[in-house]
Amino acid sequence: MDGTRHSFVKHDQDAEIDPWEITNGVAGINAISRHLCYVGGLEASRQKPEDTRTPEQLQTMLEIISEVLSYAPKVKIVGHNQFAAKGCPSFFAPFWLEKMKVPECNIEWQDPYGYAKFFGNPWKRNLLVKK
């Protein structure tokens, strides 16, 4: 919650995922992906997914993304819910990445389960109010 980073798996900071760097996140692409997660993600009753990232967690997440892009500039950043029917990470990643000015080439927009609509785009609310 305070933005402290924990690496659960050792990795060398390069664009290749070595066999010893593989972690289980999404079946089928574990061998070519690295997983980033945060503590939280549920609203108070723990029934519904909610983006509960603290300012510190947001900061750390952005730092990690910019580090990864510095040594692996072609990666696609994708939310878990863009691969599976689960709320995680409790927001629609492309909307947030776009707002954070992550280059378009690093954003994957696939949305087979409709989470863009489910979570909406809270980073665009101000624009909608103006209309």
80 binds Zn ion (CB under 5 A): yes
Work out how close the CB of 80 gets to Zn ion at its nearest, in angstroms, rounded to a whole number. 3
Identified binder of Zn ion from the candidate list 58, 62, 64, 88, rule CB under 5 A: 88
Q: Rank residues 11 and 80 by Cβ distance to Zn ion and give the closer one.
A: 80
Q: Which H, E and C letters describe the chain, residue by residue?
A: CCCCCCCCCCCCCCCCCCHHHCCCCCCCCHHHCCCCCCCCCECCCCCCECCCCCHHHHHHHHHHHHHHHHHCCCCCECCHHHCCCCCCCCCCHHHHHHHCCCCHHHECCCCCCCHHHHHCCHHHHHHHHHC
Work out how close the CB of 122 gets to Zn ion at its nearest, in angstroms, rounded to a whole number. 19
Which region among 69-77, 82-90, 91-99, 112-120 touches Zn ion (by CB under 5 A)?
Answer: 82-90
Work out how close the CB of 17 gets to Zn ion at its nearest, in angstroms, rounded to a whole number. 17
Q: Rank residues 93 and 102 by Cβ distance to Zn ion and give the closer one.
A: 93
Provide the binding-site residues for Zn ion, judged by CB under 5 A: 80, 88
